[in-house]
Structure 1
Amino acid sequence: MIEHRDKIRYALYGIVCIAFVVSYAITNIAIFLLFALFFIDKKNKIKSKLEFIKNNRLIWLYLCFFCAQLIGLLYSENLNEGYRRVTVLLPISFLPAIIMAEKINAAYFKKLQSFLQIAIPMIFIFLILIHLLYDKRAMSTFVHFTANEKLGVSQFYLVFILLIPFKVSYINLKNNTSKIINGSLLALSLALILVMGNKTTIVLLFIIALGLLVRHIKNIKKAILFIVSMCVLGFTSYNLPIVNERFGILLKTTDFDVKTVITKNNFTITKNTLEHRFLINYLSFGEIIEALPFGVGTGDVQDILDEKYKAINFKAAILGQFNNHNQYFSEFFKTGFLGGILFIILLFGINRKAVLSNGFALPFTALFTISCFMESYLYRQHGVIIFAFLIPLFLNHRIDVTKEY
């Protein structure tokens, strides 16, 4: 088995990425098989891997961050919720270490990229066809009905898995590899990302396109290409019902006066998610400051938030039992300065490593860092997999880019 362990390891990486969309149970099984496989190796290699873990600061930051959650559990009043939070975060304690300590096999990683570049879009197309033809529902309800209700996965998480074929196709185009095939897969991946209707991702894509335009402004051909790309992206986004609806609600109904927002959400279940986040942050900020320097405990945040929602009759939050929707606030809320500062340092560390590499991991780390202002990613298991599996996997592997685009 040892002689085939690299092949098995990369196969398990692929299973985690695919199962991420369709089955968290399979994802869990693959993760713990990776843990077992770590120790199925020659003694000298196991010793070398453990030595690497011992001396790697980023791995220690992950471990310290998990330990902060355990410390917060010690003074939690709601121990059942605290245990549940710690259980969800458990992969953070070992997954980054066993991924980053393994020796890179460039050949198998290249095969993994090629597989995911095709398999991930095909899974989404299959799900869309079932949604349209079998469930007989409109495309505009795909995210809400198929992704959220049937699969139990938010579009916030699915965007990250779609970034894999998007990034692989983009890099292949930079290397002038099979332009028609990779161009088609790039366009398909982008279309699927837009179908998710994630406002943060769409805005980030525009910023990236604008940055590339500025970078290549002196090259007429490339400048025109990026201008056309931005126009196509804008036109496509505008004509997708889910994107049009979400940005329409955002632009037409957003208020930033606290009393107005409270009144609106007191009388009805509103759909403006930006206002929801604004109000949640407003309600939690005072509690966070009051609970410093230690926080309220790993298991008590939701109870306090639910009390604040009921106090102002925040209908949508009461019905949906909204979490903090801000990972930075969440960490300071739970474990005070210890967890909050560790989380920020950890994000700085992974982004620094992403920048110093050849950039394959950068879209994942950048999107995660920005989106944590809008979403509590580590509240759910899918977010933990992004943080503890996807990001370390792509931080640990590089793709050779032979030509600048």
Structure 2
Amino acid sequence: MEKKATVNDIIRLMENWAPKKFAYDWDPVGLQIGRPDASAGKVLVTLDVTEEVVIEAAEAGAGLIIAHHPPLFRPLKSVRTDTPNGRIVELCLRHGISVYVSHTNLDVAPGGVNDMLAQKLGLSGISIMEETYREPLFKLAVFTPHDSVEKVRKALGDAGAGAIGEYTHCSYELEGTGRFTPSEGADPYIGSVGKEEAVSETKIEVVLTGSIRTRVEQAMIEAHPYEEPAYDFFVLDQRLEEYGIGRVGHLPEAMSLESFAEHVKERLGVPALRAVDGGNEKIRTVAVLGGSGAKYVGAAIGKKADVLVTGDIDFHSAQDAANLGLSIVDPGHHIERIMVGGVRERLEKDAEKAGISCGFIESAIVTEPFKFM
């Protein structure tokens, strides 16, 4: 039987995909308006939260808006209903609508905004443009009697340890001898109080990320037969997966800057764009970053991109890029609207898997402020 969704149920789905730890420090992501225990009803997905979008959500019977851009970006000193932000808050509270924001964390997340854009442009061999988050990585070694190896190993894997790429429940085992002497007050699984014991044991080793360390440790302790399990955590210097902003990939075939600009217009549905000619004879390697990407010119060059597709390029950044041999195609900030359909599709699938009953709607309100003349 499916469960009726609360706001918190949908937040969990979003944060399993795009956790808040991926967001930049300055970014006010998360639940901005409303309460987590409220009924979600339907969920409206939008790029921006405007008064028109809130009215659209209310008319559709939505109890939650998921937005990419935060409506409350800077701390409020007052909530005046004669200001745009104040009216948004008033409308949301009047209609019982919560607002959740997934911004730079959704840009960074695998399968998020930048991956959506890279795939829409037909890129292959996609990698991140600049690393912004590295998950701490540990190895857990636990010593277990032979008859409990399978139980402990399964508990570790079920808690998320031993996940490497497309593989789960990965572990390594080594047999040895454990020695111990139970003291007064102990309740040993093997042996007697005051008598030294030598027990054949198996050492199980698994890797895990820092975000699940507490969960894995608790699962191991609960599954282990010993009153005081012997185990160690080791900090590893390597990484399992990169997380970062922007994406870099390759076109199926090289093309001129003019042809690539037309390709971007067609694929991203923009009527016009700005371009900077970096002097590339052909465009093959493409860097793409949704939103404002002027400060990532250096990162794109570092990845040997021929062109950077991003929005809000300023005059001096354009000059710098051209002088350094990087072409730029600026289709505007609003190309991030690709997240509306992408988030709706992802949440529908994840909600179904989780047994959560909820309808998801794409906002039809166009929030692009620019007119092309």
TM-score band, normalised by the shorter chain? under 0.3
TM-score (norm 1): 0.20
TM-score (norm 2): 0.21
Q: Whose helix proportion is higher, 1 or 2?
A: 1
